[in-house]
Amino acid sequence: MFGEFGLALSSAGGEKLFLTLFVMFVAAKLMSELFERLKQPAVAGEILAGIAIGPSVLHLVEPTEITNTLAEIGVILLLFLVGLETKPSDIFRVGGKALAVAVLGVIVPFVFGYVTLAIWGEPQIEAIFVGAAMVATSVGITARVLGQMGLLNLEVSRIILGAAVIDDILGLIILAVVSSMAKGGVNYAQIATTAGLAIGFTLLVVFVGARAVNKLRPRIEKLRVGQSQLVFGLSLCLGLAMVAHYVGVAAIIGAFLAGMALAESVEGTDMPHQAEAVTEFLLPFFLANIGMQLKLDALFNRNTILMAVVITLLAVISKQIGCGLGVLSMGKKKAMQVGMGMVPRGEVGIVVAQIGLGLGVISDGIFGVVLFMAVATTLIAPPFLVRLFKGEKRVDEEEILPLSPLS
Amino acid sequence: MFGEFGLALSSAGGEKLFLTLFVMFVAAKLMSELFERLKQPAVAGEILAGIAIGPSVLHLVEPTEITNTLAEIGVILLLFLVGLETKPSDIFRVGGKALAVAVLGVIVPFVFGYVTLAIWGEPQIEAIFVGAAMVATSVGITARVLGQMGLLNLEVSRIILGAAVIDDILGLIILAVVSSMAKGGVNYAQIATTAGLAIGFTLLVVFVGARAVNKLRPRIEKLRVGQSQLVFGLSLCLGLAMVAHYVGVAAIIGAFLAGMALAESVEGTDMPHQAEAVTEFLLPFFLANIGMQLKLDALFNRNTILMAVVITLLAVISKQIGCGLGVLSMGKKKAMQVGMGMVPRGEVGIVVAQIGLGLGVISDGIFGVVLFMAVATTLIAPPFLVRLFKGEKRVDEEEILPLSPLS
């Protein structure tokens, strides 16, 4: 590989590959360190790093197919790691509450978004798309914050994780309906099939996955390939991420389910630590890449800026109300914890906006508004989460919980 | 991230992302397992997996900017890991021999390639490009084989690593000269500057790097960011890979030097193990991607097929003779070990061929020949290496040597 020609293999845009890798990784980690010292959540620092190095500020790097891919792999690994700490039974126990949180957390934000834009005088289809984008939940951010605080084993954490899985399926259905409306006609049979597949896949992995993996375990230990537990885990993670994607749910849901299926069989082994090392390398690309999506120049005028601020506030409040209502029986504090946990829209909100833009049904202004809302909610939630969860008893079982003390 | 839309973020070619990740990783690991059971080198299995899933056979996946990027990151991490096991003083001690191996290992293959194509009646510029491609060394393959055998600490292993660094600088100069010739005129001043920069960078890192890192160590331990040793190591790896690339040598050389600078300070810590986990995830993409480059349909006719076979044989023999001569004083066995260690052309040979194709100076047929030679030498060397190194005393210090027992 002869230096200056070394990138002939990776053609377009490849020339800046090494600069991009270095700047994203180091900027994210430096900000993470700074935020840790300021006793602020590291994730927020890493997203801010992305804003700083991205097109809106320094323009050292910009989102490309490469950064998006690394980001995707990073968040897949994160959810896999979170799954490794979550046994299926943990989620079953909170199933009812998670369902309530997810359903109300979809309805309230959608209504808030739709009504606000309708009142603002925007076209109906744009109002619907903004509503759909406000439904999204980027569970990775919350999972990372709670993981770093060693709180993934709390009941509320499990409610958030369970609700995120259900939320994703509901979001899939809403987006399918909304997209078909934008294209002219809604094919309910097709949407029902997609929804059925998504639900079937999830239930299948949850109910059969762990048992199947436990049976395979002795065989995996006999494999000669290096680090066989890790290799098997990563294979399952990539495999279920792929199936989830083809079935119609998010790849991260597949990765989370893969982790959950393995949770019992890897308990007490070194595997979660190894998976954590891989995640530490790739996750910064996910977090920085979110910040890099922000394009401040898309917020053309005072009207758009005002709308961005209003929509962001409503995005926070509507999840607080909707998700909070679902667990109000547990008390106000827990309701607020769950509500805030569902606030970050992150990459999911961005994807919805991009689909709207791709279908030609939302304007550049509205796209900028949703982008702003997605990044801002992702940035706002972590510090509030830290405050809301302060004083909760940390579960410090170092050998079992990979995310807590080391990350 | 709503499943079927989840890839809106990663646009072109992204639709197949999850399939590509899954198929490459699992196919490589399965073949690795199979080859381990057959007591064959796992690397060869992983490259063969790439051939099987690639355009030449099953066509499940094909090389893209994404796979090339993951491959690049994988081989960078591999060389970083190898560097972690190599102290600068280990290389100094064998410096003279490494230089002889590198110089003779450049001259002999170039002459063999050039003369053969000239006799075959091909145009001079094509003969020169084939010669340049035969100079290339893909040290990653040999390093992986020796690492898996736990033999990286042998004197011959160090000679191979040192020679590979020097070989890369020599290769850079040759390719610069050859490319300028193809473009019409050779700017010797510019080439001298490039060479000077490359040499200066290497010497600087080797002489100053380890000392600087050792001084920084107490500060790194105080960092609050998770897995601070690993994060610092990866930052240095990406940073020096980037500088190496801009200076003109291969990014992997920068990564190797970064590892070497850290070798002393991480001795006895868990960091090499963590770095190994990251490598185990990304290296299969490098190995499978090499196999995926093979395009058998480029070998149009009997003449090209014959040439591919002859060039491949000469590629093996010429490194054996050239590199072997450099260490003949150490005895015939060690000369053969070193010579075989320098045989794989891998991604480096492919890059040279692509540059020639890009400049329009080599035909599709010759491109196919070089591609075949690059992949075939990479596939042929590992089993011979295993045989030549059989019976060498394995260094089984599990806690220090990350590559040996686990990988």
Listed residue (A164, A137, A130) closest to A307, CA to CA = A130
Closest CB to A277 among B241, B249, B278? B278
Q: What is the 3-state secondary structure (H, E, C) of chain B?
A: CCHHHCCCCCCCCHHHHHHHHHHHHHHHHHHHHHHHHCCCCHHHHHHHHHHHHCCCCCCCCCCCHHHHHHHHHHHHHHHHHHHHCCCHHHHHHCHHHHHHHHHHHHHHHHHHHHHHHHHCCCCHHHHHHHHHHHHCCCHHHHHHHHHHCCCCCCHHHHHHHHHHHHHHHHHHHHHHHHHHHHHCCCCHHHHHHHHHHHHHHHHHHHHHHHHHHHHHHHHHHHCCCCCHHHHHHHHHHHHHHHHHHHHCCCHHHHHHHHHHHHCCCCCCCCHHHHHHHHHHHHHHHHHHHHHHHCCHHHCCCHHHHHHHHHHHHHHHHHHHHHHHHHCHHHCHHHHHHHHHHCCCCHHHHHHHHHHHHHCCCCCHHHHHHHHHHHHHHHHHHHHHHHHHHCCCCCCCCCCCCCCCCCC
Distance from CA of A331 to the nearest CA of B (A): 30
Asked whether residue A53 carries a pLDDT value surpassing 90, the answer given is: yes
Specify the pTM.
0.88
**Mean pLDDT, range A76-102, rounded to an integer:** 91
By C-alpha distance, the chain A residue nearest B244 is A3
Closest CB to A29 among B65, B235, B274? B235
| A398 near B CB under 8 A | no
Contact (CB<8Å) B71/A9: yes
By C-alpha distance, the chain B residue nearest A173 is B2
Domains and CATH numbers, chain B: 16-60+71-389 (1.20.1530.20)
Q: Could you tell me the sign of the dihedral formed by the alpha carbons of A101, A107, A113, A116, in that order?
A: negative
Distance from CA of A46 to the nearest CA of B (A): 11
3-state secondary structure of A6: coil
- Region of poorest pLDDT, from A119-128, A297-306, A389-398, B55-64: A389-398
| A173 near B CB under 8 A | no
**DSSP designation for A396:** -
Chain B environment of A352 (Cβ under 8 Å): 2, 5
As given in the structure block, the two tokens for residue B255 are 């990564």
As given in the structure block, the two tokens for residue B361 are 């100076």
3-state secondary structure of A41: coil
pLDDT-derived band at A395, boundaries 50, 70, 90 = low
Phi and psi (nearest 5°) for A315? -60, -40
Phi and psi (nearest 5°) for A227? 45, 55
CA distance A154 to A390: 13
Closest CB to A242 among B2, B19, B235? B19
Chain A environment of B350 (Cβ under 8 Å): 9
By C-alpha distance, the chain A residue nearest B179 is A5
Listed residue (B384, B391, B368, B402) closest to B43, CA to CA = B384
Chain B environment of A407 (Cβ under 8 Å): 226-227
Asked whether residue A401 carries a pLDDT value surpassing 70, the answer given is: no
The string of pLDDT tens digits covering residues B230-279 is 999 999 999 999 999 988 888 998 999 999 999 988 888 899 999 999 99
Closest CB to B1 among A7, A246, A351? A351
Q: Which A positions 59-78 lie with beta carbon below 8 A of chain B?
A: 63, 65-66, 68-73, 75
pLDDT at B402: 45
The string of pLDDT tens digits covering residues A6-36 is 333 333 345 689 999 999 999 999 999 999 8
By C-alpha distance, the chain A residue nearest B354 is A8
As given in the structure block, the two tokens for residue A190 are 């097709």
pLDDT at A8: 37
Q: How many CB pairs under 8 A join A and B?
A: 267
- Region of poorest pLDDT, from A45-59, A164-178, B120-134, B317-331: A164-178
As given in the structure block, the two tokens for residue A27 are 């900027």
| A32 near B CB under 8 A | yes
C-beta atoms surrounding B51 within 10 Å: 21
Distance from CA of B362 to the nearest CA of A (A): 15
pLDDT at B11: 34
Listed residue (B369, B346, B375) closest to B357, CA to CA = B369
Which residues, given as ranges, of chain B have pLDDT below 70?
1-15, 298, 300, 395-407
CA distance B272 to A92: 39
pLDDT at B391: 86
pLDDT at A107: 96
As given in the structure block, the two tokens for residue B82 are 């190898």
- Region of poorest pLDDT, from A156-165, A183-192, B380-389: A183-192
| A227 near B CB under 8 A | yes
Cα distances from B341 to residues B100, B102, B156, B334, B346, in angstroms, run: 15, 12, 9, 10, 12
**DSSP designation for A61:** -
Cα distances from A355 to residues A147, A257, A377, B1, B17, in angstroms, run: 31, 26, 20, 11, 18
| A343 near B CB under 8 A | no
| B122 near A CB under 8 A | no
Closest CB to A406 among B19, B226, B354? B226
pLDDT at A382: 95
| B249 near A CB under 8 A | yes
CA distance A75 to B73: 18
First to last CA, chain B: 34
Specify the residue for token string 């170039």.
Answer: B110
Q: Supply angle C-alpha B293, B296, B300, rounded to 5.
A: 135
**Mean pLDDT, range A162-172, rounded to an integer:** 89
pLDDT at B404: 40
Listed residue (B365, B380, B270) closest to B314, CA to CA = B380
Q: What is the DSSP string of A258-310?
A: HHHHHTTTTTTSSHHHHHHHHHHHHHHHHHHHHHHH--GGG--SHHHHHHHHH
Chain B environment of A406 (Cβ under 8 Å): 226-227
Residue of A232, A249, A281, A362 to mutate, interface with B, max B Cβ within 10 Å: A281
Contact (CB<8Å) B351/A25: no
As given in the structure block, the two tokens for residue A196 are 């059925």
Listed residue (B7, B18, B1) closest to A358, CA to CA = B7
pLDDT at B395: 63
| A223 near B CB under 8 A | yes
pLDDT at B181: 82
By C-alpha distance, the chain A residue nearest B286 is A9
Contact (CB<8Å) A245/B7: yes
Closest CB to B68 among A9, A231, A406? A9
Asked whether residue A251 carries a pLDDT value surpassing 60, the answer given is: yes
Residue of B1, B18, B62, B149 to mutate, interface with A, max A Cβ within 10 Å: B1
CA distance B238 to A19: 9
| A156 near B CB under 8 A | no
Contact (CB<8Å) B3/A248: yes
The string of pLDDT tens digits covering residues A264-310 is 888 888 999 999 999 999 999 999 999 998 877 767 688 889 999 99
Closest CB to B248 among A4, A168, A179? A4
Closest CB to A251 among B1, B32, B70? B1
pLDDT at A355: 86
**Are the C-beta atoms of residues A204 and A88 closer than 8 Å to each other?**
no
Contact (CB<8Å) A235/B29: yes
C-beta atoms surrounding A199 within 10 Å: 16
| A208 near B CB under 8 A | no
CA distance A79 to A258: 9
Contact (CB<8Å) B250/A3: yes
Position B135: which residue type?
V
Chain A environment of B179 (Cβ under 8 Å): 5
By C-alpha distance, the chain A residue nearest B138 is A1
Residue of B148, B274, B281, B350 to mutate, interface with A, max A Cβ within 10 Å: B281
Asked whether residue A407 carries a pLDDT value surpassing 60, the answer given is: no
Closest CB to A230 among B3, B277, B348? B277
